[in-house]
Structure 1
């Protein structure tokens, strides 16, 4: 606003001054990720790669890497969710990946949740984690594990504990990023599966439970 315009408005009686535009409500829709979301997802993740220790990755992921991950999780039938603004922009995402490549671990997954920098502190993490847990139960999964950095990830730790994740172990000084040693905290939550286990077993190439 120009200085003269600002001064003119100040001279107006309060009841005649233009009202400021109301702040738009924070709204979003949670749905399954689609190929068109990959670039937004990549940008969200790479922000944390270059600016934080919540991920131990040191190199930014390429679009190709994320596309391969997306297709792999899609093939396994594992939940990969995004929160999308009315404009279509991805505000955050949540996914689970196999805890291990060994077939005996086929009912256990590891989760990941990342929010766009402008979408933090608005309850979106809670909404995504709740939706992810529900989606995992619909798939017949039994255990979900979160691996959290022991430094700089206090918000993630509190979020998982709020949803009933319990700490089951720690490893110290297993990562080195930004010139300092980092450890990991392992949290676990048992799920209430709503699907016959054998269906999931076949997705991982194992037999029926």
Structure 2
């Protein structure tokens, strides 16, 4: 499928030092550790207690069971997991069947290496190839400049902000919505019912 909304190059990504691949069961402990860090120290997730590895594995299985990508960025040649990303349905009702939500998390030691850009670019490409038409980012905290900037760099535009929608770390927190067309976006009707 030809993408009518091409990705800008993932600037700053050292391709020789990074490999994006589907996550497997052996990656789940590393994925859980990355997510636990974000749950306990930041506002990217509104969970307050990190899920166990088994729960993270069940969540991954649900994503891949729907035929959606669940990816890891791997350090080359070391093989350590530097981050992960996946797509999930934006909403469950059938009218949303061409829209997805993205999730991207990077290990603290890998921030600034282009891991998030590489993961999100690959996620967008794979979801476009699957025939999806829209991707939505639901970003925790309107002050999350890194995530907002990452999504803007990869073609997402602001769609709105829900002020004080969550309460975490003793304060009210916003959610920012951004969106990006996939493939031909809404320029054409879908080829077949989804």
Per the normalisation by structure 2, the TM-score is: 0.85
For 1:66-145, list aligned pairs within 5 A.
Answer: 66-85=56-75, 86-145=77-136
Q: Give the alignment's TM-score, normalised by structure 1.
A: 0.79
Displaced runs of 4 or more, over 2 A: 149-152
Helix, strand or coil at the partner of 2:92: coil
**1:170 offset after TM fit, Å?**
1.1
Partners of 1:66 and 1:38 in 2: how far apart?
7
Give the root-mean-square deviation of aligned CA atoms: 1.9
1:56 is aligned to 2:43: no
CA change 1:104–1:155 in 2 (3 A) is same
Q: Kindly tell me: are residues 173 and 131 of structure 1, through their superposed partners in 2, closer, same or farther at Cα, counting changes over 3 Å?
A: same
Question: What secondary structure sits across from 2:17 in the alignment?
Answer: coil
- CA distance in structure 1 between the partners assigned to 2:20 and 2:133 by the alignment: 23
3-state SS of paired residue (1:186): strand
- C-alpha distance in 2 between matches for 1:139 and 1:42: 27
More RCO (CA 8 Å, sep 6+): 2
Unaligned runs of 5+ residues in structure 1 are 1-24, 199-207
- More helix by percentage: 1
Shift in Å at residue 88 of structure 1?
2.3
Paired residues, what number? 175
Query: Match for residue 162 of structure 1?
Result: 153
